[in-house]
Structure 1
């Protein structure tokens, strides 16, 4: 280290930041200052933890420099700190005043994230070049370091962007150009009183009520009022994230002043495969012209090269997992927490998460409120118990005691929570989505297949959502002989990513908002749960396997989703002219006193997907009694959305469960409690501040679960040539050769496909070795699966073994995806 013509001896061992931190603490304890040793100690941890996790402190909280550094090292570091104090704090280094230990622990987390960011930016030799000749410290600081820091911040997309003023409730088209007639929920978002300080809004309304636009309006108002400088829109899945990214990307620039160039990022593990995102990347050597910067989406390449940085972008859209990692002991989680600190956090479909994710979500809301952030939660069917947990989590972050939330029978409903107010307000919904969906129960699969064939022959567009991939395949196979191949489509998670995206685009073309009557005529879509939230599609007739009521309501939301004429042509006037909507539910025969295997006898696989048979039985009984789903309905009305949800999830629902199903219900309740306990164990104890004791373990984010379930692994599907010497090439062909392997990947449970079979591994040993030498980025934990074409079957075939060493035959086809036998 150098100062003027004096050279500070370079430390002989690593850990300069730790030594500098100790030197600052030593200076702070000089007689001229007011000692606050514990407070300084907490801040030293922040300085020393910039490599992604708090420093290890051993059995003692006292750090002794003599144990780690030579005298010359300590002298150099102390001299450097003295000179920095003289330069930056000419009145002397005083211990912080007016800050409590508790508040210091809270701010230690985003401060740690700031230190990580400063370390990453400051390590760039492109901006902070080495100097071979000594410089006076003030010369280096003012004439080199500060200008370089400004350049690094701007170059990497971290510069401040001025928020645009709110346009006003009477000029919403200035923000979202198609909001000529705001829905009641959107009007609420445009006019509701905003409170000082952090605040939470929970918006409950039916599918199609405009919740997304309402959230964006409210987020803009909060930002304009100084409650945030950006937003992060979190969704349950990657597919829903992709959809929302396009919607938010169309308007996000209007959140900021016209001359600003804010970044928007898509945050999930497969975002590099989404064309809409990769086209936005601003390369480091590319500067935007005056007009170009305001015309379209863009994201700085530095922000986009890893999900750890993604939440630093001005606007983010992505999976809930990326936000949940902020409260888990994943290395560099503090960077995510710092990125969220000045964001309005919007979370969609808050009802859809399992107990593990819900518990982590409560931890996230608590942390976000504690660091001054505001949040907007969206749901169509959130049960009262879940709502209470979310509200009380945010209360805890505000330092408030938990409260019992009285069930409110109204629906739609808005809830506003701030330090001084908790207010639930009934809300109307727009006339176009007020409807009664007739529910017809089926317990005969042949009758369901006949119905689909008849409706398709009449020119209608039909969708059947099944509860497992195997069930979807069986339904698809049963219809192949009855429908033209070009009219029958299968969509589930067992396709390579590239093929899955192709199918998704095809579904949107044929079943989406802008599909014409000719394109839709007689089309049939068979799929799994990925359809109920992932895609903005529209069916004339919806069929669903029996599932819990909230999922059925969600699936019914894809029924006549967009206004159309009787022939299926889009209706520009927004008036629906098709026959009254009908939801057909296939399941076991209704039975007031079912046996324990009532559900499993019909759904051998789905009984493990929805193991709480009591919820399915309560759902069937509620629909049987009501005969319909009324959106939204009024309090106490049979078939009203709120009435149906509480009939299954309400406090008194358990008392109506038949004795034979109570064991399954109790088992699921125990499992839910166990998942919640695991989430609490895994999550950080943020109240302890940024220190080693805040978690039992720290690890890379790939090893920290944001969701529970069977361990999965990435399998790359490789097409083998005619001979083993021909090499391997990615199964999916893409215009971008750099993406072909990623587009050929699929995630599978590790226990189902653990390794290649011995003979398959031997046959392709040379080709696999060559591939790994050419593609060194492939992880040793991933599996490359060579596949050979089976031309007679129109498939590819490969051989592996499961976790128990049993042989597994793998078949892959473009029609049905991957099948293990």
Structure 2
């Protein structure tokens, strides 16, 4: 800072800069850190981020905002550095008594009773300071308007402008009278001069970034602040003469080396025509070439919707599209979002293999993000040699790293960025393992929830968005998102579109309306419009597989579309359709009637399988509820013995993982060069777990009725692999539909071809569990389609007919259901539409932007009316996923005075767990049904020996007696090694957990 910048009493102001503290002695390694030092430290960290972390696309965006190539670096450093300028106020400086005394001695005072009584956060004070300083330096209103929220929001939430003003009752005391405004100006000017700007006016940008780009930038500012606030790397400096950008850069260099940050691809080279063979060992299929060509034709970052049948190779096509889009538009990494934790795990392996083929070092930079990742052996191997526990879910605060505002010295995020227990691992830098930071890793595989979290009105949401920006986002099985989750998905696509993030969506069975909704959302964001409708410009694909590409033209000529289709790599399977109606007990039926109907249904399936598998073969039976799967399994075991396997969500995670691996080993894809070694006879009974990423091949499928897209997903497990030898009577694929009643014909189907084909005049009855899960509307339309086709051709050509079948059920057509069903169908549709609206409105309460606010220009007020569920004790999964909450418990067995694991190994009287037993204890984790979850949350606690354990202290224990039974929510529950958790009849007068 030159002398010309100082007012008449410049010596006093220099003296004030020499005592303004940014970190107290307790927070800076024993020596107070001057405020100017912390600002420069943060700016120096930003420079390191620019050189070694930011994606080329982010740098290009910042250069454009700053006014030219290479100018973005200094602007970025300045924006990060100025974040704590609000600490140069009495409201903050009074908070550390020793520092306050020095401030007063330097001639800066305040009325202590007034300032102490009226709290004013330093992040909001910083916004106020900038709104005074920047206009005086000549900045235009438009640029001041987007910059001040970056400062106001750096502790996690963006307030409205009115909330950043100093308390009126303070009468200027909180902001500072006398020399205070000049000291605040001098602080900002000194930062500006150290970064080699001539004056503050030279800092002013030339372009206002989009709101999504601002959110991205805000996340990077928070990241730089957290790094620069780590006292291990940034000890205090209390002499102004020692404070300069050179010293800050030296400190930042040491921190950077210690943190071991690794960028992703950098500027990736565009894939060559032969790259696909190099990556995957074979030439691309026609549909995969279609995807790659569409990615190459996109003129700007956009949306790529890939629709193809199961087994077509969508994942490999998406990987190549991601490479192409990253090379063309400057993305540095990828986020792959999957529908569930179980589908994320195998994808983690695939992504590591793929990025490792590009650069072997990058395979160690892939993060797995979901709540059960420590059950993934590959992820744990990456952290091998770590000391402490990187997976302690709370990390010193709550489950999602939330802090309750500032602490005494305004260090509200200290607990988040000073976690010295993090390990040194072979995987991603340990800094990324902290709360809310996982998406910042260059390559990430996780549940789609990670994207949905990034568009909730929660604290530090900017960190999540910063983790997505600069990447290519790939979302698999997007059809799995229901109407509630779809609100968050479309909101996410809006923000990604506005931020210029390329997105690849994969689906096997995407309804046309959903495809349009997702496309409109992305383009609406890219165009920064509240509403966007592609209309007739977006045509329907004329074939299957298909690719729909959409982007906004760089020349501002509007939305551009590229829709193409081709034939699949395999011929259609002509899947024969058979119906197995059953007696369905109505809602008023007695318990005895329900059990009788279930026994008859199980007997019918057992008899049918006895005939069909007489010469051997492998059958998959999918039930819509755990209870139906368990009762059928019991009956089948009596008939077929060890040839039956059961798989559902209430089997403890350890045994379930083993059983899933067993199923895949028996019925999974044959290893290359080896013929399939299949069992002579096998029956797998499963729930909806078998719908997604369950790569098994069944000779015969029996399934409860479900909406047509899910039914087709299940059919995708039929005759899935080539070169499989099948028994003669199962040589042709066949699906038998159960789970409905009210159909003419034999109620107990005991022989092939014995099912009736006449439609009853009444609409069919459905199982109560099926209607609860899926709703009557979609079940009726699917049943109508199915019954009609059974009467007609008696088969579905799969995958050729998949788009048409899905469109028929989800489309607006009224001619699908028989006339006799119309009244029932109309009532069901009305209930369904009402429920859909209610669920969409419920989700809207939690979205990052509200209706009417989607064309906002700045981040001001983004967190107005923040989520009521965003504080302590409320998981974000309850925000982005609808339905009744379910809880997880760890099952242990109490025998005498001690405990043992589910598999029988002994623990102590307090339940203490040694390292060699940890996996076994956690392997006893099981998810409870919703009917038991509320009671479990209220009554179950960790065992005494778990309270000090980093990975067990938050786990609820369900203690079973030696017979593996307990009472919970007045229900008798027991854990059976084969059946999993069995929920029995209601009992009264027994304490929970007894």
Report the TM-score when normalising by structure 1.
0.85
Aligned 8 A contact 2:17 2:183 in 1: no
Distance 1:189 1:513 in 2: 24
Report the more deviating stretch, 679-688 or 318-327: 679-688
Determine if contact 2:306/2:504 at 8 Å carries over to the other structure: yes
Residues 513-549 of structure 1: CA distance to partner in whole angstroms, max 9, x if unpaired?
1387555221210000111104212212111111111
Distance, in Å, in 2 between the alignment partners of 1:357 and 1:218 is 25
Within 5 Å, give how 1:227-242 maps onto structure 2: 227-242=330-345
Which residue, out of 654, 665, 668, partners 2:832? 668
What is the distance in 2 between the residues matched to 1:457 and 1:558? 21
Aligned match of 1:513: 669
Is 2:296 aligned against 1:165? Answer: no
Root-mean-square deviation (Å): 3.4
Aligned match of 1:96 = 204
Counterpart CA distance in 1 for 2:900 and 2:381 is: 29
Contact 1:594 1:661 in 2 (8 A): no
Residue deviations 1:362-382 (CA, integer Å, cap 9, x gap) = 111111010011111111111
Which residue does the alignment assign to 1:810? 973
113-122 or 163-172, larger mean C-alpha shift: 163-172
Mapping for residues 260-271 of structure 1, pairs under 5 Å: 263-271=365-373
Give distance in 2, aligned partners of 1:439 and 1:165.
Answer: 49
| Greater Rg by CA | 2
SS of 2:454's equivalent in the other structure is helix
**Does 2:406 correspond to 1:278?**
no
SS at match of 1:345: strand
1:776–1:720 distance in 2 versus 1, CA, 3 Å: farther
2:188 to 73, 77, 81: 81
Corresponding position: 1:186 with 2:366 = no
Question: Hey, what does 2:703 align to over in structure 1?
Answer: 544
Q: 1:62 to 1:656 in 2, by over 3 A?
A: farther
Listed one character per residue, the Cα deviations across residues 696-722 of structure 1 (whole Å, up to 9, x for unaligned) are: 323147145111000222322222122
Who is 1:690 aligned against?
859
Q: Residues of 1 paired with 2:716 and 2:816: CA distance?
A: 30
For the pair 1:797 / 2:965, whether they are aligned, the reply is yes
Matched, 1:376 2:504: yes
Q: 1:33 is matched with which residue?
A: 138
**Per the alignment, in what secondary structure is the counterpart of residue 373 of structure 1?**
coil
Q: Is 1:436 matched up with 2:574?
A: yes
Distance in 2, matches of 1:198 and 1:132, equals 48
The equivalent of 2:71 in structure 1 is: none
State whether residues 212 and 496 of structure 2, in contact with CA within 8 Å, keep that contact through their aligned partners in structure 1. no
Deviations along 1:447-486, one digit per CA (max 9) or x if unpaired, are 422232344442211110111111111110110111122x
Runs of 5+ consecutive residues of structure 2 not aligned to the other structure: 1-12, 22-92, 97-120, 389-424, 554-559, 583-600, 745-757, 906-913, 985-994
Shift of 1:87: 0.9
Contact 2:576/2:733 (CA < 8 Å) preserved in 1? yes
Question: Does residue 534 of structure 2 align to residue 403 of structure 1?
Answer: yes
* Aligned: 1:610 with 2:610: no
Which residue pairs with 1:45 in the alignment?
149
1:684–1:695 Cα contact (<8 Å) kept: no
Task: Tell me the equivalent position of 2:798.
Answer: 631
Structure 1 residues 58 and 717: CA distance shift in structure 2, 3 A: farther
1:201 matched to 2:304? The reply is yes
Unmatched 5+ residue regions in structure 1?
287-295, 569-575, 634-639, 791-795, 802-806
SS in 2 for 1:755: helix
Contact 1:249 1:297 in 2 (8 A): no
Aligned to 2:350: 247
Tell me how far 1:236 sits from its aligned partner. 1.0
Residues 732-759 of structure 1: per-residue CA shift (max 9 Å, x gap)? 879753444443222324542443799x
**Matches for 1:631-650 after TM superposition, within 5 Å:** 631-633=798-800, 640-650=801-811
Deviation at 1:273, TM superposition (A): 1.5
Question: Which deviations, in whole Å up to 9, do the C-alpha atoms of 1:409-434 show, x marking residues without a partner?
Answer: 52222111111421211212103x53
Q: Aligned partners of 1:692 and 1:751: how far apart in 2?
A: 39
- In 2, Cα distance between the equivalents of 1:412 and 1:752? 43
Distance 1:173 1:190, change over 3 A: same
Q: Distance in 1 between matches of 2:166 and 2:14?
A: 30
Partner of 2:61: none
Comparing 466-475 with 417-426, which one deviates more in the overlay?
A: 417-426
1:208-223 → structure 2 map (5 Å cutoff): 208-223=311-326
Which region of structure 1 is more displaced relative to structure 2, 198-207 or 86-95? 86-95
Q: Write out aligned runs for 1:332-731 (5 A).
A: 332-399=460-527, 401-404=532-535, 405-420=538-553, 421-431=560-570, 434-444=572-582, 445=601, 446-485=603-642, 487-514=643-670, 518-566=677-725, 579-586=731-738, 587-588=740-741, 589=743, 592=759, 595=762, 598-600=764-766, 603-612=767-776, 613-624=779-790, 625-633=792-800, 640-653=801-814, 656=817, 658=821, 659-685=823-849, 687-688=855-856, 689-698=858-867, 699-700=870-871, 702-703=875-876, 705-722=879-896, 725-727=897-899
Q: How many residues align?
A: 764
**Distance in 2 between residues matched to 1:9 and 1:645, nearest whole Å:** 66
Structure 2 CA distance, aligned partners of 1:693 and 1:142?
33
The more displaced of 190-199 and 548-557 is: 190-199
Q: Residues 12 and 385 (structure 1 numbering): CA distance in 2 closer, same or farther, change over 3 Å?
A: same
Q: 1:299 to 1:536 in 2, by over 3 A?
A: farther
1:239-296 Cα deviation digits (max 9, x unpaired): 111121122221112345x66676111111111221121112377899xxxxxxxxx9
Please say if residues 564 and 577 of structure 1, whose CA atoms lie closer than 8 Å, have aligned partners that are also in contact: no
Mapped contact 2:146–2:859 kept (Cα < 8 A): yes
Secondary structure in structure 1 of the residue aligned to 2:932 = coil
Q: Partners in 2 of 1:731 and 1:273 — Cα distance?
A: 17
What CA deviation, in whole Å up to 9, does each residue of 1:664-723 have, x standing for no partner? Answer: 22101111121122222321116444333445323147145111000222322222122x
Say if 2:127 and 2:151, in contact at 8 Å, map to a contact too.
Answer: yes
Q: CA deviation at 1:227?
A: 4.2
Q: Which moved more, 1:62-71 or 1:537-546?
A: 62-71
- CA deviation after TM superposition for structure 1 residue 146, in Å: 3.6
Residues 757 and 342 (structure 1), Cα distance of their counterparts in 2 relative to 1, 3 Å cut: closer
- The answer (yes or no) to whether the contact 1:3–1:137 under 8 Å persists in 2 is no
Q: Structure 2 vs 1, CA of residues 6 and 246 (structure 1 numbering), >3 Å: closer, same or farther?
A: closer
Q: Conserved in 2, the CA contact under 8 Å of 1:8 and 1:80?
A: no
Could you tell me how far 1:148 is from its partner in structure 2?
A: 3.4
Q: In structure 1, how many angstroms separate the alpha carbons of the residues matched to 2:637 and 2:604?
A: 16
Secondary structure at 1:299 match in 2: coil
The CA deviation at 1:98 is 2.9
Q: How far off is 1:222 after superposition?
A: 0.8
Describe the shift of the 1:424–1:104 C-alpha distance in structure 2 as closer, same or farther (beyond 3 A): closer
For residues 9 and 60 of structure 1, the distance between their equivalents in structure 2, rounded to whole angstroms, comes to: 21
Alignment match, 1:804: none
The 2-side partners of 1:131 and 1:730 are apart by 55
Q: What is the Cα deviation at residue 328 of structure 1?
A: 0.7
Q: 2: distance between equivalents of 1:544 and 1:123?
A: 57
Distance 2:977 2:323 in 1: 44
Contact 1:754 1:800 in 2 (8 A): no
Measured in 2, the distance between the counterparts of 1:593 and 1:691 equals 60
- Provide the C-alpha distance between the structure 2 equivalents of 1:250 and 1:259, rounded to a whole number of angstroms: 11
Give the whole-Å Cα distance in 1 for the aligned partners of 2:916 and 2:859.
Answer: 43
Once residues 342 and 350 of structure 1 are traced to their aligned partners in structure 2, the CA distance between those partners, rounded to angstroms, is 21
Compared CA separation, residues 654 and 377, structure 1 to 2 (3 A): farther
Tell me the distance in 2 between the aligned counterparts of 1:284 and 1:46: 36
Deviation at 1:161, TM superposition (A): 3.8
* Cα drift, residue 622 of structure 1: 4.5
> After superposition, what is the alpha-carbon deviation per residue over 1:60-119, rounded to whole angstroms, capped at 9, x for unaligned?
76777945355687776544323211211431112634324xx45332211221122112
- Name whichever of 214-223 and 184-193 sits farther off: 184-193
Q: Tell which deviates more after alignment, 43-52 or 65-74.
A: 65-74
**Separation in 2, partners of 1:756, 1:264:** 35
Q: Secondary structure at the match of 2:509?
A: coil
Residues 1:435 and 1:690: Cα distance change in structure 2 (over 3 Å): same
- The answer to whether the Cα contact below 8 Å between 1:436 and 1:628 also exists between their aligned partners in 2 is yes
Contact 1:599 1:607 in 2 (8 A): no
Which residue does 1:9 correspond to in 2?
20
- Answering whether residue 935 of structure 2 is matched by residue 755 of structure 1, we say yes
Cα deviation, residue 147, structure 1: 1.6
